[in-house]
């Protein structure tokens, strides 16, 4: 038997299986891939359509045009929508015309600035990837980590401290050290609720929320007290980190695209490898999927919860660390625009799979980035993106709506959950 091709094919199968969980084995692989992505993709499409309606419905110019005539109103509405979405597109991906002409001219600076919107979207996506992975790994381990935001703050504070307090180290040591400090801080912040769950049964949802508040107030105190920037006059802001601790940006300002994005991709791969290729991952997933069976099989459920929370926290800490070291370069309170909470949505849209999380993060980063331009060009408030995200998330969380709209067939396993084996029964 040839090993290599079989292995590849099998790896593909395993991947599908994981994404598809619990999959429908009777269908062809192609269909099961569609099964996996159908709901998120259609949710996004539907979200954009509803967003379009909202844009038209909240615009006073559209109302005024409808006052003149119906045709006038309709064309104005379409016009508004296309302007807005065009701005969203050029703001997040780039202007195709500009890209082509820049490539044609061969001028390096023109090319860079033509690609800047897209690169900026990736910059926005980076903390999302880390935070989304944190929630996804938690879900896989049977833990609902709502404390990502707090872990992110603690991680950021630790990375900042190592970043400015230690001096004289070469970049090759200082930068990873600061980044790992962020991970470690987040891990500690995640580990505490994990420990509480394992030893006292205290629910991690409650405890991570409480840990969030502790983290917010603690960082506030740190930034205005021990970690305050000299001469900041009471402003809660930290000193700038040393240059040696900075994660490098690839191009000159204003392009902020940095190495952190690739670190995020690497970490996503690492999380995938950990979850699906190692015995620790199988341990975490088994406890996550069925703690009773895990106990039966001889796994240490308590240890698994603690480990899961610590790794999840570490990933959240990295989200904070990467923002400090690569983008902000110092810590202030406006560090996070809700990455920790959006990350729950990311994990859900990404089906708790690292690859899904990466894709969902890039989508969210793109939307966030494009929305800024949309606001400038068509004066549509940036909050429309929040609404868009919320709608997409709702559709992903309640797939029955999407299936209803697009007449998709339910996967077999869901149809059968309700009635078979003695209606309402199952357990005696």
Partner 1 sequence: MTPILELKGITKQFPGVLANDHIDLSLNKGEILALLGENGAGKSTLMNILYGLYQPDEGEIFINGEKVMISSPTDAIEAGIGMVHQHFMLIPVFTVAENVMLGYESVKYGDFLDREDASKKISEIAETFNLPVNPRDMVRDLPVGVQQKVEIIKLLYREAEILIFDEPTAVLTPQEADELFKIMRSLAEQGKSIIFITHKLREVLDVADRIMVIRLGAVVGETTPDEADKNSLAAMMVGREVSLVVEKEEKTPGDVVISIQDLVVADKFQNIVVDHVSLEVRAGEIVGIAGVQGNGQTELVEAITGLQKSSGGQITLLGEDISRATPRQITELGSAHVPEDRQADGLVLPFPTAENLVLCTYYKEPFSKGVVLQYQTILEHAEKLITDFDIRTPSALTPVSNLSGGNQQKVIIARELSRPIQFLMASQPTRGLDVGSIEYIHKRIVQKRDDGCAVLLVSPELDEIMELSDRIAVMYRGKILAVVNRSAVTKEEVGLMMAGVMPEEDFTAKKKHVVERTF
Chain positions contacting partner 1, by CB under 8 A: 3, 7, 10, 13-14, 17, 21-26, 277-283, 285-286, 289-290, 292-300, 409, 412-413, 415-416, 419-428
Length of the chain as a residue count: 428
In the complex, least distance from residue 267 CB atom to partner 1, rounded to whole angstroms: 17
In the complex, least distance from residue 24 CB atom to partner 1, rounded to whole angstroms: 8
- Residues 425, 417 contacting (CB under 8 angstroms): no
Please state, as a whole number, how many other Cβ atoms lie within 10 Å of the Cβ of residue 418. Answer: 8
Tell me whether residue 235 or residue 297 sits nearer to partner 1 (CB atom): 297
Question: What's the CA gap between 366 and 299, in Å, rounded?
Answer: 41
Residues 6+ apart with CB under 8 A from 245: 162, 163, 164, 166, 169, 171, 174, 175, 177, 178, 325
Tell me whether residue 165 or residue 289 sits nearer to partner 1 (CB atom): 289
Question: What's the CA gap between 89 and 87, in Å, rounded?
Answer: 5
Tell me whether residue 77 or residue 294 sits nearer to partner 1 (CB atom): 294
In the complex, least distance from residue 33 CB atom to partner 1, rounded to whole angstroms: 14
In the complex, least distance from residue 357 CB atom to partner 1, rounded to whole angstroms: 19
Q: How far is CA 259 from CA 88, 269, 327, 366, in A?
A: 25, 16, 11, 18
Tell me whether residue 282 or residue 390 sits nearer to partner 1 (CB atom): 282
Tell me whether residue 230 or residue 425 sits nearer to partner 1 (CB atom): 425
C-alpha R_g of the chain:
24
In the complex, least distance from residue 395 CB atom to partner 1, rounded to whole angstroms: 23
Question: What's the CA gap between 70 and 189, in Å, rounded?
Answer: 58
Residues 6+ apart with CB under 8 A from 320: 127, 151, 152, 153, 154, 155, 156, 157, 159, 182, 185, 186, 335, 336
Tell me whether residue 17 or residue 83 sits nearer to partner 1 (CB atom): 17
Tell me whether residue 28 or residue 233 sits nearer to partner 1 (CB atom): 28
What DSSP letter does each residue of 366-394 carry, written as one string?
HHHHHHHHHHHHH---THHHHHHHHHHHH
In the complex, least distance from residue 400 CB atom to partner 1, rounded to whole angstroms: 17
In the complex, least distance from residue 402 CB atom to partner 1, rounded to whole angstroms: 18
Tell me whether residue 18 or residue 149 sits nearer to partner 1 (CB atom): 18
Tell me whether residue 379 or residue 409 sits nearer to partner 1 (CB atom): 409
Q: How far is CA 378 from CA 78, 84, 136, in A?
A: 13, 6, 36
In the complex, least distance from residue 281 CB atom to partner 1, rounded to whole angstroms: 8
In the complex, least distance from residue 23 CB atom to partner 1, rounded to whole angstroms: 6
Q: Is 92 exposed, middle or buried (0-12, 13-18, 19+ CB in 10 A)?
A: buried
Question: What's the CA gap between 68 and 66, in Å, rounded?
Answer: 5
- Residues 305, 141 contacting (CB under 8 angstroms): yes
């Amino acid at each position: 038997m040839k090993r290599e091709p079989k292995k590849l094919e099998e790896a593909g199968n395993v991947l599908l299986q994981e994404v598809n969980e619990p999959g429908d084995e009777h269908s062809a692989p192609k269909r099961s891939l569609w099964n996996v992505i159908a709901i998120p993709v259609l949710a996004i499409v539907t979200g954009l359509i509803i967003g379009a309606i909202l844009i038209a419905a909240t615009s006073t110019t559209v109302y005024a045009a409808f006052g003149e005539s119906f045709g006038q109103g309709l064309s104005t509405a379409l016009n508004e929508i296309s302007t807005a979405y065009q701005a969203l597109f050029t703001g997040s991906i780039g202007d195709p015309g500009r890209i082509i002409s820049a490539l044609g001219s061969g001028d390096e600076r023109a090319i860079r600035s033509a690609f800047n919107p897209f690169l900026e979207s990736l910059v926005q996506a980076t903390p999302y990837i880390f935070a989304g992975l944190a929630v996804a790994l938690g879900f896989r381990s049977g833990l609902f980590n709502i404390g990502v935001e707090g872990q992110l703050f603690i991680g950021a504070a630790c990375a900042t401290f190592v970043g400015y307090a230690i001096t004289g180290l070469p970049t090759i040591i200082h930068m990873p050290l600061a980044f790992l400090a962020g991970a470690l801080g987040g891990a500690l912040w995640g580990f505490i609720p994990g420990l509480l769950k394992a030893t006292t049964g205290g629910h991690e949802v409650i405890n991570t929320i409480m840990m969030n508040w502790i983290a917010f107030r603690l960082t506030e105190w740190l930034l205005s007290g021990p970690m305050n920037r000299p001469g900041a006059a009471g402003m809660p802001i930290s000193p700038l980190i040393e240059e040696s601790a900075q994660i490098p940006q690839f191009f000159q300002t204003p392009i902020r695209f940095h190495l952190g994005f690739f670190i995020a991709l690497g970490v996503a791969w690492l999380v995938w490898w950990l979850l699906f290729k190692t015995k620790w991952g199988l341990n975490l997933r088994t406890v996550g999927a069925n703690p009773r069976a895990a106990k039966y099989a001889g796994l240490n459920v308590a240890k698994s919860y603690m480990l899961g929370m610590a790794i999840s926290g570490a990933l959240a800490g990295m989200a904070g660390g990467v923002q400090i070291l690569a983008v902000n370069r110092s810590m202030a309170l406006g560090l996070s625009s809700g990455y920790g909470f959006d990350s729950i949505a990311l994990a859900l849209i990404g089906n708790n799979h690292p690859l899904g999380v990466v894709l969902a993060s890039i989508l969210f980063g793109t939307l966030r980035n494009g929305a800024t331009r949309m606001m400038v060009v068509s004066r549509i408030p940036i909050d429309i993106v929040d609404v868009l995200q919320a709608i997409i998330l709702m559709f992903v969380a309640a797939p029955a709506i999407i299936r209803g709209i697009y007449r998709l067939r339910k996967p077999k396993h869901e149809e059968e959950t309700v009635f078979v084996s003695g209606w309402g029964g199952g357990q005696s």
